[in-house]
Structure 1
Amino acid sequence: MVRSLWNVSWVCVRVRLNKVPANLLVSFTNHLMKMALVSEFLTKLTLSYGGEREPKCPTVVPAFDFNPEEDAAKIETAIKTKGVDEQTIIDILTKRCCSQRSEIVFEYEKRAKKDLVSALKGALSGSLEHLIVGLMKSTAQYDASEIKSSMKGLGTDEESLNEVLCSRNKEELMEIKKVYREMFKKELEKDISGDTSGDVAKLLLALVQAKREEPSSVVDYEKIDNDARALYDAGVKRKGTDVTTWITIFSERSVPHLQKVFERYKRYSPYDIKESIKKEVKGDLEKSFLTLVECLENKHLYFASRLNDSMKSKSVKEKVVTRIIVSRCEVDLMKIRSEFKRNFGKSLHQTISEHTKGDYQKALLNLCGGDD
């Protein structure tokens, strides 16, 4: 771009070269060059916009002055203590990032000659055990474990399966598939096919294939309109639902594109996209589509709503609370906290304090990272 603008400016200058003072000519040329550089910079900025990774907003960050040998020694003592010193275990492991916890594992096993995760399982119990053991995995390993757990035994925990598969981005899904293969010596797609069926299986498998397009700096209004109309034609407009078309659009288009499609959809349909889903499909497929749309519209609000629903009654759904807090504390829990406070009037920290107790509560609050 700099070269092309320079060529244009030189042609223009040559037309009346003899009539322009030298100092003005130099000044004018320098000005054109600066404009060209600025233009080139802005062009690059525009082209990269929307295509970059979503910035992380974690609540758990690397600890300052980290000493893995010292942490490992303290944890060994805490486990050996009569009655177990849960507070020390919580204070260390919930305030270290994943890579630091890995170093602690290495140092512990070097000094104690035993596996730290096994030692923690023997020392802890209940919800606290599940939370702390979950922290000893990477985010992808934890997600893979939760997916495997949701398909274990009689019946499938579709709610948990939907939560993980519908909310993870393309990069996260590809990493989960890789880690799942390493951990369980099976392909994730094969296990989903064996544990789900029909259109639900088709939707989940389409998500796991991770074909979602990357966001673009160019807004394709024609494609937005075509997709909105296709969703309407495949559902509300006709008798019966062309689920395949819905699955293709929902699983392959970029998130910003789909957000615009959902807005455009209202031009064609008397119902918004969620109302259309409720009218067109039922049961597990309805739940899967609704979860996916909620994540596409506002993933952080989806997680905040899940947390709020899990702590509404006296019987807290600790499994759901643990999974969201553990899986998102090093990703975007800060954004989830903001959505929680904005939509439900109380902070996540306050809600956890009111609905949980004991060591489990202490661990959750540490991972939550403060009050809002």
Structure 2
Amino acid sequence: MAAIGNRGTVTEAPGFDPEADMQKLREAMKGAGTDEAAIIEVLAHRTIAQRQRIKEAFKRAVGKDLADELSSELSGDFRSVVLGLLMPAPVYDASELRNAMKGAGTEEACLIDILASRSNAEIKAIIAAYKKQFGRDLEEDVIGDTSGMFQRVLVSLLTAGRDESDHVDEALALQDAKEIYEAGEARWGTDEVKFLTVLCVRNQKHLLRVFDEYQKISGKDIEESIKGEMSGNLEDVFLAIVKCMRNKQAFFAERLYKSMKGLGTTDSVLIRIMVSRAEIDMLDIKAQFQKMYGKTLQSFIKGDTSGDYRKILLELCGGE
């Protein structure tokens, strides 16, 4: 399920000099105003690993944390992007999950976006980062903030126990398809546990066979059946898993599109995907976006954002 090679828009800066970059950022924060263009120039064109070295150089030279300094200088969505870029990937995901569960409500979409799309190794790293950053157990927090079958699906994903081999057992794929059909379309009420067992545990190639067999048995696409059988967050998480198994980049393209179409922009979703995928598969997400919606991702960003926030997102997109 991992992308082959680097398909990100952010790649290692040639001739990288963390000391020079650190000085540029210091200069950008000196005096009355802040030079946002200089901040974009450095941070949007360095990999996560390179940004960590800039942070170390800053702390060595100034005795302060770069993220704290930038946080006090910047504001709004631009600040959110910049601070996100300074975090290692598991720390960023952990922070997003913590923010989604803090306070009164829960942003279930964030839990779904992250946990349905990450590999076993990524989920384990997120759990460790969450414990280190917040001194809390991620599974306990998820259980405390969710309920019912939705909670059980998230807990299953958090075990990081999905088969990640390429093995397809044809007989088992047919059996899985039959059992899902019998658990949903073929009966009154839905046995959601059967969906969980298949969708949260089987490997990608096996699931693609299950989806094909399911279509033959039921005459329906698995996504159509999930929409008919489930509702709310449970429907959303099962659909996200199916979509990620079929084409993860198309899943993210759809999430970006929905975050910007209609009235207002869901900036939390837009920022999360742009920051977390820039170095991994943003080139493929952009290609999927254009294929699915007939317009470039950049054109949507231009139409829905403004100022320095727009500029940094466009740079993460690979420029205008």
Match of residue 190 from structure 1: 140
Residues 368/53 of structure 1: CA separation in 2 closer, same or farther (3 Å cut): closer
Match of residue 369 from structure 1: 318
Shift of residue 252, structure 1, vs aligned partner: 0.5
Match of residue 208 from structure 1: 158
1:304-323 aligned at under 5 Å gives the runs: 304-323=253-272
Shift of residue 248, structure 1, vs aligned partner: 0.8
Distance (Å, rounded) in 2 between the aligned partners of 1:159 and 1:215: 28
Shift of residue 53, structure 1, vs aligned partner: 7.0
2:22 to 72, 77, 102: 72
Shift of residue 313, structure 1, vs aligned partner: 2.8
Shift of residue 63, structure 1, vs aligned partner: 0.5
Q: Amino acid of the residue matched to residue 274 of structure 2?
A: I
Distance (Å, rounded) in 2 between the aligned partners of 1:338 and 1:306: 14
Match of residue 253 from structure 1: 202
1:40-189 aligned at under 5 Å gives the runs: 54-189=4-139
Distance (Å, rounded) in 2 between the aligned partners of 1:177 and 1:293: 23
Shift of residue 334, structure 1, vs aligned partner: 1.2
1:332 to 281, 286, 291: 281
1:220-259 aligned at under 5 Å gives the runs: 220-259=169-208
Shift of residue 54, structure 1, vs aligned partner: 4.8
Deviations 1:267-291 (A, max 9, x none): 2214321221122222221122122
Deviations 1:84-112 (A, max 9, x none): 11110111011111111111111111222
TM-score, normalised with respect to structure 1? 0.83
Distance (Å, rounded) in 2 between the aligned partners of 1:368 and 1:85: 21
Distance (Å, rounded) in 2 between the aligned partners of 1:281 and 1:315: 28
Distance (Å, rounded) in 2 between the aligned partners of 1:302 and 1:237: 28
Secondary structure of the structure 2 residue equivalent to 1:82:
coil
- Number of matched residues? 320
1:14-29 aligned at under 5 Å gives the runs: none
Q: Amino acid of the residue matched to residue 103 of structure 2?
A: G
Q: Amino acid of the residue matched to residue 357 of structure 1?
A: S
Deviations 1:328-356 (A, max 9, x none): 11111111111011111111122212221
Q: Amino acid of the residue matched to residue 332 of structure 1?
A: D
2:241 to 292, 299, 316: 292
Distance (Å, rounded) in 2 between the aligned partners of 1:338 and 1:250: 27
Secondary structure of the structure 2 residue equivalent to 1:267:
helix
Over 3 Å off, 4+ runs: 52-56
Shift of residue 172, structure 1, vs aligned partner: 1.2
Residues 289/219 of structure 1: CA separation in 2 closer, same or farther (3 Å cut): closer
Identical-pair percentage: 40
TM-score, normalised with respect to structure 2? 0.96
Secondary structure of the structure 1 residue equivalent to 2:116:
helix
Shift of residue 81, structure 1, vs aligned partner: 3.0
Moved more, 349-358 or 136-145: 349-358
Distance (Å, rounded) in 2 between the aligned partners of 1:370 and 1:111: 31
Q: Which has the higher contact order (CA 8 A, sep 6+)?
A: 2
Shift of residue 266, structure 1, vs aligned partner: 1.2
Deviations 1:165-185 (A, max 9, x none): 111122211111111111111
Distance (Å, rounded) in 2 between the aligned partners of 1:248 and 1:163: 19
Q: Amino acid of the residue matched to residue 117 of structure 2?
A: S
Residues 191/58 of structure 1: CA separation in 2 closer, same or farther (3 Å cut): same
Is the Cα–Cα contact under 8 Å of residues 183 and 194 in structure 2 kept in the other structure?
Answer: yes
Residues 54/177 of structure 1: CA separation in 2 closer, same or farther (3 Å cut): farther
- Structure 1 runs not aligned, ≥5 long: 1-49
Distance (Å, rounded) in 1 between the aligned partners of 2:309 and 2:280: 21
Is the Cα–Cα contact under 8 Å of residues 180 and 194 in structure 2 kept in the other structure?
Answer: yes
- Structure 2 runs not aligned, ≥5 long: none
Residues 245/180 of structure 1: CA separation in 2 closer, same or farther (3 Å cut): same
Distance (Å, rounded) in 1 between the aligned partners of 2:70 and 2:3: 35
Shift of residue 314, structure 1, vs aligned partner: 4.8
Is the Cα–Cα contact under 8 Å of residues 128 and 359 in structure 1 kept in the other structure?
Answer: yes
Is the Cα–Cα contact under 8 Å of residues 76 and 112 in structure 1 kept in the other structure?
Answer: no
Is the Cα–Cα contact under 8 Å of residues 215 and 257 in structure 1 kept in the other structure?
Answer: no
Secondary structure of the structure 2 residue equivalent to 1:106:
helix
Is the Cα–Cα contact under 8 Å of residues 3 and 281 in structure 2 kept in the other structure?
Answer: no
Q: Amino acid of the residue matched to residue 80 of structure 1?
A: K
